[in-house]
Chain A
Amino acid sequence: MIRKTMAVARKEFRQIVRDTRTLTILLVVPVFFLLLYGYALNFDIRHVRLAIDDRDHTVESRSLTAAFVNSGYFDLVASISDAGAARLMDRNDVRAILVIPSGLGRAMRTHRSAAVQVLLNGDNANTATTVMGYALAIIRNESARYATLPTLPTGAPSALSPLLTVEPRIWYNPQLRSTLFLVPGLIAFITMITAVVSTALSIVREKERGTMEQVRMAPIGTASFVVGKTIPYFVVSFASAFGIIVAAMLMFDMPMRGSWIVLLVTMSLFLVGALGLGLLISSAVETQQVGFQLAILISFLPTFILSGFIFPISSMPRVLQIVTYAIPARYFLTALRAIVLKGARIEAFWVELAALTLFAAAVLTLSAVRLRRQWRSA
């Protein structure tokens, strides 16, 4: 049994090595992508393009403008009059427009209140919400400079000092660097795709070319066949995943607060599951084209959308939250963040490990069973 498995593995391995383009893609491209995307992507919103429509031209209006520019969040790209606003927004040339009405300065000097208008481009709701937060905070601060303090009634000195102060403390990622949150997600995504893609065509290719008949005639069980197909791809994708993790640590200062052994074991479980998923797809379909479509349908978008990589699972509707339990990347991501960022010990995420093991066992068994049925009926 073991000898037969190794024979299949050896044959598959030769095939991988001979296809140099595929091998290079599997080994080099993932690391390169991690570096590129880890550097390129973030949710830290800076340099928001701002236009100002100042109809007041007083010390106070200039001070408000300066407060926006000096905040570091806004880049002043245009001073406009009313007419240009719509065009600038339509073209995405600006994301926010601040309209300061005439009379602001006088109102401030006479202790009356005045309204300024903030126009936001809301097409990207997430960005717009953040930008709104920045703008409101800046205006609130600026406003506080003019607010007259009412004379306090004696005996209640604390009445105006804030009743509650909040002391926020952020664990695991104190500066809230979005790299530290995106890089583990990228690792999960890239390794998942690499693994599924590498095996998704491996069986159906033999079916389509007709070499499957020869394998079927040979005295090999489907279990040996499936495991033998997995081993060489496991070696390749393990090497590539390891490279990704090392690159993340060297280039993005990703910490390593937990144990390396646990990390590698978790990663192996995840990889076997992903490779098995590819094999299952491959055994279920009849043409490589369908294999490709199915691989993307099952692994590409769900890993991206439903794993908690970008969109928080707790915000999803209940039905979809249940669907996320079928996504192995969800467990891997939780475990990865726990090991790397939190330094948690295995008690904290054994459920995730168990789920990954179960997933791997299930997909491998299913693909062996499916193949056996096909070989019998053929």
Chain B
Amino acid sequence: MLRRIGFLIWKELIELRQDPDLLRIVIVAPILQLLMLGYAATTDIRDVPVVVADADRSADSRDLVARFDASPSFTIVGIVTSPKEVDSYLERGRAWMALAIPAGFGDSMGRGRTETLQVIADGSDANSTNVALGYATNLLAAYAQEKTAARLPASRAQAGGIEPRVRVWFNARLESRDFMIPGVLALLLLVITTNLSSMGIVREKELGTLEQLNVTPLGRSELILGKLLPYALVGLVDVCLVLGIAVLWFHVPLRGSVTLLFAMTIVYLLTTLGLGLFVSTISSTQQQAMMTTIFFFLMPMIYLSGFIFPIENMPAAIQPLTYLMPLRYYLVMLRAIFLKGVGLETLWPEALALAGWGIAVLALAVARSTKRIA
């Protein structure tokens, strides 16, 4: 039996080797994607384009504008005179935010008179706008405080009050990359392995070569094992590549056990390959297999697994749905192993759920294929 499976694995590997396009894609694509995602997938807001309507043109207003420009959060893209002119900047999306400095601003600052600044923000990207408005308000508050302090005698400084001391655990620099990259690893594995296994069998079906495999003395489970093992191998190679880049290139801290990480990855591969196989058994053409994989598995998993959109923000009616996503469990474990360095003593519920998922879907696929393939 082992010898027969060995032959099938050999056949699959030869096929992989003879399809240099596929081989190139499954090796190069993860690297490219990780590099791209690692750099792009940051929710930190930098260089928000700001247009200034400076009706004052005094030393003070220029000082304020210079502070915006010097801050890493903002870039000044234009300075105009009247507030009317900012309209086209915002409408075209050339600026996200406009700062209107009224005439007489410098004069007021000199005399200690209260002055009102208008900050106009483009709300069409609500998330970034919210953050950018926060930065702007902080910057202006600091500016005002400095101006006020310069006018107050030193003895009048702060008395009493509660001081907050914030400590951030697990990701002290609040680097969103450290959170995203483990997620990307999970996502890439999902995309590559479900694709391979979902097309793997239906392809032989469509091309008619499955019949030939059926007349060989191969048993069904041998056929499936021989089909899936090479794909699992490809998946593991990808894991090593991606892990290497994540740790050596992006310096994502890997605080937990590497053995546990690989063990959980194998359980996860069981699920993704099983899913693909299941799709293979319910599809009659490769096109159907592709549609089913993308629309019913990849899309929901990207959106509902907590990869980018936190599950705790979802409405209570949707949250139970996320328990159906194997990616959810793997993500929680992967991030915990990377950032928190915890082990199975904390992660066992997720590990159990993922293993249960994998066994269930593989069993389902095997049961279905006994009826359909043979």
Q: How far is the CA of A36 from the CA of B195 in the complex (A)?
A: 24
Q: How far is the CA of A136 from the CA of B161 in the complex (A)?
A: 13
One of B124, B136, B315 near A180 (C-beta < 8 A): B124
Min C-beta distance of B117 to chain A, whole Å: 5
Question: Which A residues are within 8 Å of any B CB, using their own CB?
Answer: 19, 21-22, 25-26, 29, 33, 36-37, 39-49, 64, 87, 89-92, 95, 104, 107-108, 111-130, 132-133, 135-136, 139-140, 142-144, 146-148, 150, 153, 156, 158-174, 176-178, 180-181, 184, 193, 197, 200-201, 205, 208-209, 285-290, 292-297, 300-302, 304-306, 308, 310-312, 314-317, 319-320, 323, 334, 337-338, 341-342, 344, 348-349
Q: How far is the CA of A163 from the CA of B129 in the complex (A)?
A: 25
Q: How far is the CA of A338 from the CA of B92 in the complex (A)?
A: 7
Chain B residue, CB-CB nearest to A343? B91
- Is there a chain A Cβ closer than 8 Å to B346's Cβ? yes
The reply to whether B40 and A316 form a contact with Cβ atoms under 8 Å apart is yes
The reply to whether B151 and A156 form a contact with Cβ atoms under 8 Å apart is yes
Known contacts A121-B170, A148-B159, A320-B36, A172 near B123 by CB under 8 Å:
yes
One of B88, B159, B170 near A147 (C-beta < 8 A): B159
Q: What would 7 more interface pairs be, CB under 8 Å, given A116-B163, A168-B121, A170-B121?
A: A42-B309, A146-B160, A171-B121, A176-B130, A178-B126, A289-B196, A338-B93
Q: How far is the CA of A26 from the CA of B298 in the complex (A)?
A: 15
One of A43, A64, A114, A289 near B286 (C-beta < 8 A): A289
Residues from chain A with a CB closer than 8 A to the CB of B40 are 305-306, 311, 316, 320
Binary contact track B184-213/A, C-beta < 8 Å → 1, others 0: 000100011001100110010011000000
The reply to whether B130 and A296 form a contact with Cβ atoms under 8 Å apart is no
The reply to whether A90 and B336 form a contact with Cβ atoms under 8 Å apart is yes
The reply to whether B161 and A146 form a contact with Cβ atoms under 8 Å apart is yes
Contact stretch, chosen from B140-148, B222-230, B262-270: B140-148
Min C-beta distance of B183 to chain A, whole Å: 10
The reply to whether B163 and A114 form a contact with Cβ atoms under 8 Å apart is yes
The reply to whether B123 and A173 form a contact with Cβ atoms under 8 Å apart is yes
The reply to whether B92 and A348 form a contact with Cβ atoms under 8 Å apart is yes
Q: How far is the CA of A142 from the CA of B164 in the complex (A)?
A: 11
Min C-beta distance of B227 to chain A, whole Å: 13
The reply to whether B124 and A162 form a contact with Cβ atoms under 8 Å apart is no
The reply to whether B92 and A349 form a contact with Cβ atoms under 8 Å apart is yes
- Is there a chain A Cβ closer than 8 Å to B352's Cβ? no
The reply to whether A312 and B125 form a contact with Cβ atoms under 8 Å apart is yes
The reply to whether B159 and A111 form a contact with Cβ atoms under 8 Å apart is yes
Q: How far is the CA of A267 from the CA of B302 in the complex (A)?
A: 24
One of B41, B48, B129, B286 near A305 (C-beta < 8 A): B41
**Segment 72-105 of B: residues with Cβ below 8 Å from A:** 75, 88, 90-93, 96
Residues from chain A with a CB closer than 8 A to the CB of B175 are 125
Residues from chain B with a CB closer than 8 A to the CB of A337 are 93, 124-125
Q: How far is the CA of A168 from the CA of B130 in the complex (A)?
A: 11
Binary contact track B331-347/A, C-beta < 8 Å → 1, others 0: 01001100110100010
Residues from chain B with a CB closer than 8 A to the CB of A173 are 123-124, 126, 129
Min C-beta distance of B257 to chain A, whole Å: 15
Q: How far is the CA of A90 from the CA of B333 in the complex (A)?
A: 11
The reply to whether A170 and B129 form a contact with Cβ atoms under 8 Å apart is yes
Known contacts A292-B290, A344-B91, A147 near B160 by CB under 8 Å:
yes
User: Counting chain B CB atoms within 10 Å of each CB, which of A310, A315, A338 scores highest?
Assistant: A315
Known contacts A170-B121, A311-B42, A158 near B114 by CB under 8 Å:
yes
Q: How far is the CA of A349 from the CA of B124 in the complex (A)?
A: 15
